[in-house]
Amino acid sequence: MKQIELICPAGSLPALKAAVESGADAVYMGFRDATNARNFPGLNFDEDGARKGIRYAHERGVKVLLALNTFPQPGSWEHWCKAVDQAASLGFDALIMADPGLMRYAARTHPGMRLHLSVQGSATSYEAINFYREQFGIQRAVLPRVLSFAQVRHLVTNTEVEIEVFGFGSLCVMVEGRCTLSSYVTGESPNTCGACSPAKAVRWEEDASGRRSRLNGVLIDSYGPGESAGYPVLCKGRFQVNGRVDYAIEEPTSLSLLDHLPELLQAGVTALKVEGRQRSPAYVRQVTRVMRQALDACLADPENYRPDGEWVAQLDRVAEGTTHTLGALDRAWQ
């Protein structure tokens, strides 16, 4: 069985340093614009910050990956191409990409650059992944969070491309790269502007009865006094359906594969990704430490691996809804 790389989020330089110091094998970041799918104010890197982050990580033997995983439009094509050129000059270890046209540009212009297929590329079959390998030379694919363990195993055995799966973080019930919910409400697609809920469309209201969140004027959720409130995204809002108010599409919870690391090893998964570039450096440090300890324990003795109860408790404390799930990975009928 191969080693599994631990890939951790770096939404800022402090978060990057926390991941590196806590045992990440690689970190992933984005530029401070719409070329990446976590385009929030205060996040991401300008050229100087990216250079500092790469130097810090490389000096400690940690790889740095760049997410260029949104889809350029005809009027913005040159900006995305310049981002590819900038990434090549800065010395990133790989580009995480979704748009086929941009992949072709990267493969032709910078043939030595390693390319990873982003989860935004929505590749859920080995046929799709092999197509990207044949056409653009991708070396790794990040799987959307809609596949079962059986489907992941089947996919790994039918491609030479390295496979990366999400191991912990916010769960998305959509096939990433195909979601149109946000664009329905805000008029801006996360696939082009880089945010499920653009900050300019988010409004909070608060009075004696509690707090309310709105997205472009649409009421997403209401919270009682003292009730914790998450960042408003349409798929995780509470709505009235058939006279009952509840989470209509997805209840806030985090995906956690802590219990299933031996299965991932056995399947031949290459990398385990932690979601959360929008989260704090403290979150990154805590999750990276737990996942590093768990992976090391699993690699040392996979047959007798059991997750430590404190690891589970630490992850649940930073999980959405303070709970975790296997999501689509666990389908008994498969």
Residue 176 DSSP label:
T
Task: Please tell me the predicted confidence (pLDDT) of residue 78.
Answer: 97
Residue 8 has a pLDDT of 98
Q: Cα dihedral angle (313, 318, 321, 326), rounded to 10 degrees? A: -70
pLDDT at 179: 77
Q: Which amino acid is at 14?
A: P
**Any idea which architecture 5-171+253-329 has in CATH?**
Alpha-Beta Barrel (3.20)
> Measured between alpha carbons, how far is 212 from 331 in angstroms, rounded to an integer?
35
Are the C-beta atoms of residues 103 and 123 closer than 8 Å to each other? no
Which residue stretches of the chain are H helix? 13-22, 47-59, 77-90, 100-109, 126-136, 149-156, 181-186, 190-193, 261-267, 281-300, 309-318
Q: What span, in angstroms and rounded, lies between the C-alpha atoms of 235 and 77?
A: 30
Q: What is the pLDDT of residue 253?
A: 81
Q: Output the CA angle 60-316-42, nearest 5 degrees.
A: 55
What's residue 146's pLDDT? 86
Q: Which residues have a Cβ under 8 Å from the Cβ of 303 and sit 6 or more positions away?
A: 262
Which residues in the chain land under pLDDT 50? Answer: 1
Mean pLDDT of all residues in the chain? 92
Please tell me the predicted confidence (pLDDT) of residue 35: 96
Query: CB–CB of 275/268 below 8 Å?
Result: no
Q: Is the dihedral of CA 211, 180, 12, 284 positive or negative?
A: positive
Question: What amino acid is encoded at 121 in this protein?
Answer: G
Q: Where are the domains of the chain?
A: 5-171+253-329, 181-247
Tokens at 209, concatenated: 């009865």
Residue closest to 62 by CA, chosen among 101, 106, 105, 10: 10
Per-residue model confidence as pLDDT tens digits over 284-331: 999 999 999 999 999 999 999 999 999 999 999 998 877 787 776 776
Q: What is the pLDDT of residue 331?
A: 64
Task: State the DSSP code for 172.
Answer: -
Strand arrangement, sheet containing 210-215:
202-207, 210-215, 218-223
pLDDT of residue 166: 95
The residues, any chain, with a CB within 8 Å of residue 293's CB and separated by 6 or more, are 23, 308, 311
CB 65 within 8 A of CB 59: no
pLDDT, position 259: 92
Other beta carbons within 10 Å of 283: 19
Confirm if 189 and 183 have CB atoms less than 8 A apart. Answer: yes
The DSSP letter of residue 143 is P
The span from the CA of 138 to the CA of 188, in Å, is 29
Exposure of 92 by Cβ count < 10 A (0-12 exposed, 13-18 middle, 19+ buried)? Answer: buried
Provide CB contacts within 8 A for 187, sequence distance 6+.
216
Q: How many CB atoms lie within 10 A of CB 203?
A: 15
Backbone angles phi, psi at 63, to 5 degrees: -80, 155
